[in-house]
């Protein structure tokens, strides 16, 4: 299997469907993700001016082992039925090699209705439905590479399910954080941190009630006085004070979270913010922390 992967060639079968730009997403999502590991034939990059289109395609289809990815959308079905079209001739060549050893033809479904109307030699073959991923604008490169690497149906199905679930969570988180209308701004001159214009970031009551934090929240120095909305950050090892800042920031986004389990989650998130943001910012630098950055961490 390893030797086969090392020698594998990939052929991209698709229909232009109009303007050049319409299918340029194939380059980013499919071609670019595969070509660092496998030779990829994609007519836009693989056929030079003056060359015979059919000859180039025929030569590419002679490679073994060969994996053919067919981008099945409505454009594909329409073009496949046009006698004499480039795709029509291409499918004729594919039909001739479809049953040969070392050839694998995989329909990739981008419009669900296409699955029941696939042309020869795609009809009856196991396909991968990527419509939901594509509709959401999710990156397809990882899925394409997994396919080329020979992942099974069950593996691919589970991977896609998890990827879509992760996107659902990301969308929910984005909606929630956006509704809070908070923008965390740290002033390098005063080390005051605000969550809205004129509104200082203060430690929530549960931090004052916690033995883990209350002993330090009354401290006061040039860069740290939580009672006055002054917090410490610096390009250094994440300190206790930076973790307190991270916890206070997360609590500002989730003021309703006060149970023991919720507080532990806020503190864990605060540690991550301390490591990824506050310990990576010099104390002489101001910072702006938007919700999108928090979600992406």
> What's the whole-number average pLDDT of the chain?
94
HSE, side-chain direction, 13 A CA sphere, residue 207? 25
How does residue 1 score in pLDDT terms, banded at 50, 70 and 90? very low
List the one residue out of 264, 222, 223 whose CA is nearest residue 242. Answer: 223
Quickly list H helices, the chain: 2-7, 25-26, 32-34, 43-46, 53-61, 74-80, 86-97, 131-135, 141-148, 153-180, 205-209, 240-253, 260-276, 291-296
Check whether residue 170 and residue 197 sit in a common domain.
no
Q: Give the residue from 151, 174, 197 where a domain finishes.
A: 174
230-277 confidence digits (pLDDT tens): 999 999 999 999 999 999 999 999 999 999 999 999 999 999 999 999
Is the predicted pLDDT of residue 184 greater than 50, yes or no? yes
**Number of domains present in the structure of the chain:** 2
Full domain range(s) for residue 102: 2-174
- Looking up residue 145, the CATH number of its domain turns out to be 3.40.50.10140
Q: Are 65 and 26 in contact (CB under 8 A)?
A: no
Check whether residue 166 and residue 187 sit in a common domain.
no
**Res 23: pLDDT:** 86
List the one residue out of 243, 224, 225, 231 whose CA is nearest residue 194. Answer: 231
**Lowest-confidence segment of 36-50, 212-226, 271-285 by average pLDDT:** 36-50
Q: Give the residue from 156, 174, 192 where a domain finishes.
A: 174
């Amino acid at each position: 299997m390893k030797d086969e992967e090392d020698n594998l060639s990939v052929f991209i079968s698709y229909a232009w469907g109009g303007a050049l730009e319409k299918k340029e997403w194939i380059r980013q999502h499919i071609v670019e993700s595969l070509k660092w590991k496998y030779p990829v034939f994609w007519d836009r990059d693989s056929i030079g001016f003056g060359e015979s289109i059919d000859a180039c395609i025929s030569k590419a289809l002679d490679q073994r082992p060969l994996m053919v990815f067919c981008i099945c959308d409505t454009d594909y079905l329409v073009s496949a039925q046009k006698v004499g079209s480039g795709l029509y001739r291409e499918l004729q060549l594919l039909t001739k090699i479809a049953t040969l050893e070392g050839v694998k033809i995989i329909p990739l479904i981008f419009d669900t209705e296409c699955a029941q109307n696939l042309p020869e030699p795609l009809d009856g073959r196991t396909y991968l439905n990527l419509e939901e991923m594509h509709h959401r604008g999710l990156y397809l490169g990882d899925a394409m590479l997994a396919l080329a690497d020979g992942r099974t149906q069950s593996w691919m199905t589970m991977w896609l399910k998890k990827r879509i679930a992760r996107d659902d969570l990301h969308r929910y988180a984005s909606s929630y954080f956006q509704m809070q209308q908070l923008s965390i701004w740290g002033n390098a001159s005063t080390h005051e941190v605000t969550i809205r214009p004129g509104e200082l970031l203060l430690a929530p009551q549960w931090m004052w009630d916690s033995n883990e934090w209350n002993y330090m929240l009354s401290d006061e120095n040039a860069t740290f006085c939580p009672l006055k909305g002054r917090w410490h950050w610096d390009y250094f090892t994440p300190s206790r004070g930076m973790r307190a800042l991270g916890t206070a920031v997360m609590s500002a986004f989730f003021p309703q979270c006060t149970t023991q389990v919720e507080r532990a989650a806020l503190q864990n998130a605060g540690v991550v913010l301390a490591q990824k943001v506050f310990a990576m910012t010099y104390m002489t630098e101001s910072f702006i922390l938007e919700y999108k950055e928090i979600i992406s961490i």
